[in-house]
Amino acid sequence: MSVGISRELRRLDPDVVLVHSWGPLMMEPLIWSRVASRRAVMWTESSARTGLLRDPVTMFSRRRLVALADAFLSTGTLATRFIEDLGANPRRVVRSCLPSALAETIAGMPMSGREGAAAGTRFLFIGRLVERKRPVELARAFVRALPSLGGATLTFVGDGPLGRRLAEIAALAGGRIRLVGRVEGQALAAQYLEADVLVIPSVREVWGLVVNEALAAGLYVVAADEVASAIDLLDDRSGLIIRADDPGKLVDALRSADKVPQSETQRAARRARIRECTRQSFVTDLHRAIELALSA
């Protein structure tokens, strides 16, 4: 959206306007929908945990924006809870699952089950090497846990400003920590399929598509409780949710994940967790939200 969007909206004359995320530029299309007697759907992903601005003025503004919308499409439990706390009518909120195109690709590829897992657990981190994703904390926790992890390895896939610090820790881990750098497409899919456990210790994740992709590969997932997708996609058999920014809990979680079975049967059960989270299901949910708005 941009300032002056009302002119384009008048030209298009839509029945429903879809706005996404938060910000002052949402106001104009929402107001236009009121003035023109049209309907508005708000697609929201943020939660009370992920919002960077939480001061009274910002929260008041958000409530005013919510009051202008006729229906809502929210991605996940935390986003749904947040939009309802801001005044959205629960009967006009459609909860969906944010899909990953890569996850759908991975789901069609053969898994690498390892009956017996003689070589040791293959831990994996995928993401930007930045503070909020806590890659350095993960590397340190892995080093602490190494004496009880047998032949386990940890692979970091991604780039960013913390790469040098990770390299220094990796140099002390006797080859058990690998830094791959950034990869995409089929090469990224291969990284998932060659791993056993994804670890995502982020202190802020609006959703976290890596959880979708890991489950599509049959991986077990260790995630911080600030990762929104983990709340909706994981159960006791597919993953473990720990408190963010707690190094001790992360060490314990690595030790627990090292004992998780990695047979083809176990991986297939974890893959099933993501079966319904597709682009088609997201489109269906969006259509439901539009119908709710039109019926307002």
The pair phi, psi for residue 71, each rounded to 5°, is -155, 165
pLDDT of residue 117: 47
Spell 24-60 as b/e; 16+ CB within 10 A means b. eebebbbebbeeeebbbbbbbbbbebbeeeeeeeeee
Q: Does domain 5-99+278-294 have CATH number 3.40.50.2000?
A: yes
Give how far the C-alpha of residue 45 lies from the chain's centroid of Cα atoms, to the nearest Å.
Answer: 10
Give how far the C-alpha of residue 11 lies from the chain's centroid of Cα atoms, to the nearest Å.
Answer: 36
pLDDT of residue 27: 86
Average pLDDT on 53-74 reads: 87
Query: Mean pLDDT across the chain, nearest whole number?
Result: 92
The two tokens of residue 250 are: 């992360």
Q: How confident is the model at residue 89 (pLDDT cuts 50, 70, 90)?
A: very high
Instruction: State the Cα–Cα distance between residues 150 and 193, nearest whole angstrom.
Output: 21
| Sequence ranges of the chain with CATH classification 3.40.50.2000 | 5-99+278-294, 102-272
The two tokens of residue 50 are: 């992920």
pLDDT of residue 116: 43
User: Could you tell me what percent of the chain has a pLDDT over 90?
Assistant: 79
Nearest alpha carbon to residue 69 among 133, 10, 105, 22: 22
pLDDT of residue 25: 77
pLDDT of residue 241: 97
pLDDT of residue 1: 43
Give residue-wise pLDDT tens across range 173-212. Answer: 999 999 999 999 999 999 999 999 999 999 999 999 999 9
Nearest alpha carbon to residue 253 among 134, 169, 161: 134
Give residue-wise pLDDT tens across range 131-158. Answer: 999 999 999 999 999 999 989 999 999 9
Residue written as tokens 């993501």? 274
Nearest alpha carbon to residue 229 among 209, 255, 248: 209
- Tell which wins on pLDDT, 296 or 63: 63
Are 81 and 70 in contact, with CB atoms under 8 Å apart? no
Nearest alpha carbon to residue 251 among 266, 261, 240, 262: 240
Q: What architecture (CATH level 2) is domain 102-272?
A: 3-Layer(aba) Sandwich (3.40)
Average pLDDT on 252-258 reads: 97
Q: pTM, whole model, 2 decimals?
A: 0.91
Residue 49 has pLDDT above 80, yes or no: no
Average pLDDT on 243-252 reads: 92
* Per-residue DSSP letter, 295: T
Q: How confident is the model at residue 44 (pLDDT cuts 50, 70, 90)?
A: very high
Q: How confident is the model at residue 114 (pLDDT cuts 50, 70, 90)?
A: low
Average pLDDT on 96-123 reads: 83
- Positive or negative, the CA dihedral 282, 284, 285, 290 is positive
The two tokens of residue 264 are: 């083809």
User: Could you tell me what percent of the chain has a pLDDT over 70?
Assistant: 96
pLDDT of residue 56: 82
pLDDT of residue 53: 62
Q: SS3 for the chain, per residue?
A: CCCCHHHHHHHHCCCEEEEECCCHHHHHHHHHHHHCCCEEEEEECCCCCCCCCCCHHHHHHHHHHHHHCCEEEEECHHHHHHHHHCCCCHHHEEEECCCCHHHHHHHCCCCCCCCCCCCCCEEEEECCCCHHHCHHHHHHHHHHHHHHCCCCEEEEECCCCCHHHHHHHHCCCCCCEEEEECCCHHHHHHHHHCCCEEEECCCCECCCHHHHHHHHCCCEEEEECCEHHHHHHCCCCCEEEECCCCHHHHHHHHHHHCCCCCCHHHHHHHHHCCCCCCHHHHHHHHHHHHHHHHCC
